[in-house]
Structure 1
Amino acid sequence: MTEEAQDNVWPLPKFYFTVKFGSQDKTISFQEISGLGTETQPMEYRHGDGKQFSTIKMPGLTKGGNIILKKGVLVKDNNFFNWYDAIKMNTIKRETVTIQLLDEGGKPIMTWRLTNAWPTKISSPDLKSDANEVAIETLELAHEGLTTELET
């Protein structure tokens, strides 16, 4: 990396991001997203005639946890509850979910793509008569794969 290129490197803030569901061009605003990660489980193996009395570890199945999205409750917006209510035994509308971290100009810098995502849990906001906060609902998504792309 050249010295000039090093001068233009800084960490990105995490507060400027977009979320899109399926092939929609519509961006849905969320306050918070967590759980964007995957884990590869190790498999242990040892040759029967191996000279070492220990196992070797190889990569096994990859799994990802659920993604949790939080957003403000909007008037006349019941889309996530409708999606959740559509769950029947072994049938659900699965979506590709695209989450993009943006730079100060609105250009995508990092993209996370969830494959075959579907709602596994929805939580309504807690209600409190003396609260001075926005009502926040939580959507938890299960998925079958998470890919990460870094824009250059």
Structure 2
Amino acid sequence: MPMSTPPQKVLLEDTATAVGLQYVVTVDDHQLGRFASCEGLGLEVVLETREEGGFNTGVWQLPTRVKYPNVKLSRPLGAQTESVMRWLSTVSQGLVATTASIEARTTDGTKVVTWTLRGVVPVRWTGPQLTSDQTKIATETLELAHHGFTAGV
């Protein structure tokens, strides 16, 4: 009679740490604080399609360049908003590409992963819509363009 293999244990350690994250953002020497959401971390390889005569089983897809989407960080309005405004006021005096780090941390402060972006430039900051007739949470969003990740990621 063949021996059966015991059921595999599913490890939840990696997924358990990725629940309820906050994103701590630093741009060069400017601590911008913790953000509640982070969208747009990624890259896309742009492909050029070429058809070759005599090669009838497919087409060639040639990589041409890498594109990086803008990163959008959002959070409720708070005291850390002032740090973003201080950084943006220095940017308005001359646009210089900088380096930013985004640390994903659990709610107890444990670091999960850090992404370091090079050539970071602020694209847009939007604050809350200030109306007294609504009871929504006031939020801010910071959008950053970048030229890729550093090799340490």
Q: Does residue 24 of structure 2 align to residue 33 of structure 1?
A: no
1:132 corresponds to which of 135, 143, 147: 135
Unaligned runs of 5+ residues in structure 2 are: 1-5
Counterparts in 2 of 1:28 and 1:7: CA distance versus 1, 3 Å: same
Counterparts in 2 of 1:148 and 1:14: CA distance versus 1, 3 Å: farther
Identity across matched positions, percent = 23
Partner of 1:43: 48
Counterparts in 2 of 1:84 and 1:23: CA distance versus 1, 3 Å: closer
Q: Does residue 88 of structure 2 align to residue 64 of structure 1?
A: no
| Equivalent-residue separation in structure 1 for 2:36 and 2:150 (angstroms) | 22
Unaligned runs of 5+ residues in structure 1 are: none
2:83 corresponds to which of 76, 79, 83: 79
Q: Does residue 39 of structure 2 align to residue 15 of structure 1?
A: no
The answer to whether the 8 Å contact 1:110/1:149 transfers is: no
Partner of 2:3: none
Task: Give the TM-score taking structure 1 as reference length.
Answer: 0.71
| Equivalent-residue separation in structure 1 for 2:31 and 2:135 (angstroms) | 30
Q: How many residues align?
A: 144
Task: Give the TM-score taking structure 2 as reference length.
Answer: 0.71
Query: CA offset at residue 123 of structure 1?
Result: 0.8
Query: CA offset at residue 113 of structure 1?
Result: 2.0
| Equivalent-residue separation in structure 2 for 1:78 and 1:25 (angstroms) | 11
| Bigger Rg, which one | 2
CA RMSD of aligned residues (A): 3.4
